[in-house]
Every structure is written in C-alpha cells, then in structure tokens.
Amino acid sequence: MREDSAVQLGLIGLGKMGGNMAERIRRAGHQVVGFDKFSPKSEVDSLEALAGALEPSRAVWVMVPSGEPTRQTVRELADVLEAGDVVIDGGNSRYTDDKVHAEMLGTKGIGYLDVGVSGGVWGLQNGYALMVGGAKDDVAKVQPIFDALKPPAPTDESGQELPAAGFVHAGPVGAGHFSKMVHNGIEYAMMQAYGEGYELLEAVDLIEDVPGVVASWTQGTVIRSWLLDLLVRALQEDPKLDRVKGYAEDSGEGRWTVEEAIQHAVPLPAISASLFARFASRQQDSPTMKAVAALRNQFGGHAVRAEAAENPA
C-alpha cells in the first residue's frame, strides 16, 4: 500500500541509468513499476501490462536509447495510455523529436515532458541534474519524482540551505532536451581541455608527478570540477593511462550543438574543435595529414615517411 504522499511511476528501460533511477525513486518512498524486455529486473512483460499495473492518471518515464527505439516506444505508449496520463522522455533525444511526440500524444489527451538527465552512474548516490521541457501542469503531476531524483539542496558553512540547483523547468516542450544538448557540448570542450593539458604535462621532462599536478588543481583553483575529480580518479587507477586507447565516440549531442550554432550564427570554436578532435581520434592514419606531408614534400622537398608494406615478401 502506498503512502498518501507517494506516487507511482512506470519506467521503461532498466539499464545502468534507468535501473539506478528506479532505485533512487524507490528509496524516496515512491512505487516504480519497471519494464525492460532485455532485463531480468522487468516486473511486467509488455507495455500493456505496464499500463495495467499503474493507477490513472499514469506517469511513464522512457529511458531507452535515443532515436528510433525511443520513437517506437512513444508510439506504442500512445496506444495503451489514456487521456490525463503523462509520458516523460528522459533519454538523449534530439529536441526536434519532442514536438512530434507532444503533438501525437496530445491528440489523445496525453501529456508529454522531455527531460535532459545528467548524473551518469553516480546519480544513484549523488542525484541527477534534471532539465525539463513541457507544460507546467504536466510538470506538477510528476514533481515528486523529480524531487526524488534531483540532488539535495546545497548548504553553506553554517548549514543553511542555499537556493536549490540540479532541477529546472527550462521552458515548453523541447527545452529540456535542448538544454541537455548544450550541456553535453560544453562537456565535450571541458574534457578536451583537460586532456590537452594532461598531454602537455606528460610531454615535458620538467614535470615529475603528472597525476599529482592534476590532483593539485582540484582544490582552490578556478578549473576545479567533477570532471577533473574523475580524471584524478582515472590517473590513480592507471597513472600513464596505458590501459586506455585514445579512441573517443560521440553521443550525437555534440554534433547537434554545433549544427544549432551554425543555424543561429553563434560561434562555438571550443566545442566545435572538441567534436572534431573526437573524429580524429578514430583515424589510425589521418588522410588529412597524409595530404599535408605530401604537399610539404612537393613544394619544399621535405622527407615523407613511407607506409610499411602489409605483406612484405
């Protein structure tokens, strides 16, 4: 039996993020009915069963891979939910999908919220930053869930609570995912800057304790951040990063950020460069630099390094 202050939530997708979110919500005293056809943790075996397990008005949070998996899930939910219910997309969907989803669900009286979620595998312990787009009435219906997921309010040295952070109703439908897109673009640039600084420290003989230098930046400096703390952690586990290959994927949100910047004539040199650096990381031998080497040889007679034969005789 639920307490009067408790609410129900259907949560689709019980992977690393979804599973931890479900646990954090339960710890706050709410009821979560989870569905994931690929997970043994699933409590129901279909979306129809999920809808049947929830009391109207229902709230269903979608936490599956962005793109077609999310689109398909939202379309299927439109067939099993009813007027007054709310669908929440908490994945990394492109914000342009949100208007399509909201209009489709809206024809049936079903509300829609898009939520950019940040916190990764640490969210269960620390809370999740939430950027929400949608109508105020729909936000109010699931506010207890947002309150359960967001980080606790920070306090000052005296223990007095400071203005709450980690949650924002950013605007209408699409605003949540747009905000998260920009957040991830900034994340790209920050990681690139830390990586470049690390490489320069490693490249000189003058610095004898590279991990120690990086760790020293985590207190009292203007570049301290949680990302820097994580770099320190990585260097403690592998001081030379010998166990890591310099190959970085991109989630797509960095690309979308740069595309929006072009569309709105907003200069984003640092974010753009960090995205292109990820592309370069996937090339074993850069065609661009092959062309540069060939040109230097052509106009200046500079030596080039020949490719080794794949199957020498």
Active site residue 16: no
The end-to-end CA distance of the chain, in Å, is 77
Residue of 180, 196, 202, 237 marked active site: 180
Contact status, residue 83 vs residue 106, Cβ threshold 8 Å: no
SS3 call for 89: strand
Local structure of 7: helix, strand or coil? coil
User: Cα–Cα distance between 111 and 104 in angstroms, integer?
Assistant: 10
Return d(Cα 265, Cα 129) in angstroms, integer: 28
Sheet holding 129-133, edge to edge: 31-35, 8-12, 59-62, 86-89, 111-118, 129-133, 167-171
Verify whether residue 180 is a known catalytic residue.
yes
Place of tokens 């379309």: 75
CA atoms within 13 A on the CB side of 58: 25
Non-local CB neighbours of 85 within 8 Å, separated by 6+ positions: 56, 57, 58, 59, 60, 110, 111
Which one of the listed residues 141, 150, 187, 253 is annotated catalytic?
Answer: 187
Q: Which residues are catalytic?
A: 180, 187
